[in-house]
């Protein structure tokens, strides 16, 4: 892993950190260019019944810090009713919801990464919430599989 990748992953970890607990990450390398992967990502999110709530450009801050990248985004997504319900019942989930997927380009490759939704089980003891997190995990794995094999 080169220094650039390590720096980006460190920034991702800092961005996604809300508690001191280690958070497992899921990551795939896409076969397409950054713009095509970004478009495919938004499509698979929608195809799985989620809604993209926002796309945040991170590259502006990175460029200001001396990194040469124009391809770094965080895609916020979720099912609005689930997000509202879970954050109302479990405020400790607020830093994590809506869910986030980070997409960035590195030396011609496009990487897509996110926190494993199974992590949220550590924050909530409710079996009903665990069932939702399990479904999210299944959906995220499916989305990442589609992204990694998209042509």
Please indicate, yes or no, if residue 17 is contained in any of the structural domains: no
Q: Within 13 Å of residue 19, how many CA atoms lie on the same side as its CB? A: 14
Dihedral, 122, 141, 105, 10 alpha carbons, nearest 10: 20
What pLDDT is stored for residue 1 in this prediction?
53
pTM of the full structure: 0.79
| Domain with 69 in it | 24-149
Is residue 9 situated within a structural domain?
no
The pLDDT tens digits of the residues spanning 72-127 come to 899 999 999 999 999 999 999 999 999 999 999 888 889 999 999 999 999 999 99
Assess if residue 65 is contained within a domain.
Answer: yes
Residue 95 lies in a domain: yes
pLDDT tens column, 45-82: 999 999 999 999 887 776 777 777 668 899 999 999 99
Domain at 68, CATH number = 3.30.310.70
* Arithmetic mean of pLDDT, 146-150: 84
């Amino acid at each position: 892993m080169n220094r650039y990748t390590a720096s980006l992953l460190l920034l991702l970890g800092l961005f996604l950190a809300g508690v001191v607990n280690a958070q497992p990450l899921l990551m795939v390398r896409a076969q397409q260019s950054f713009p095509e992967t970004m478009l495919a990502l938004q499509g698979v999110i929608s195809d799985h019944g989620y809604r993209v709530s926002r796309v945040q450009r991170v590259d502006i801050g990175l460029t200001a810090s001396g990194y040469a990248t124009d391809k770094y985004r965080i895609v916020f997504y979720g099912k609005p009713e689930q997000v509202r319900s879970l954050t109302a019942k479990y405020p400790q989930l607020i830093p994590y919801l809506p869910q986030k997927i980070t997409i960035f380009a590195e030396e011609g490759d496009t990487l897509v990464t996110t926190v494993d939704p199974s992590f949220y089980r550590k924050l909530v003891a409710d079996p009903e919430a665990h069932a939702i997190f399990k479904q999210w995990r299944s959906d995220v794995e499916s989305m990442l599989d589609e992204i990694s094999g998209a042509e």
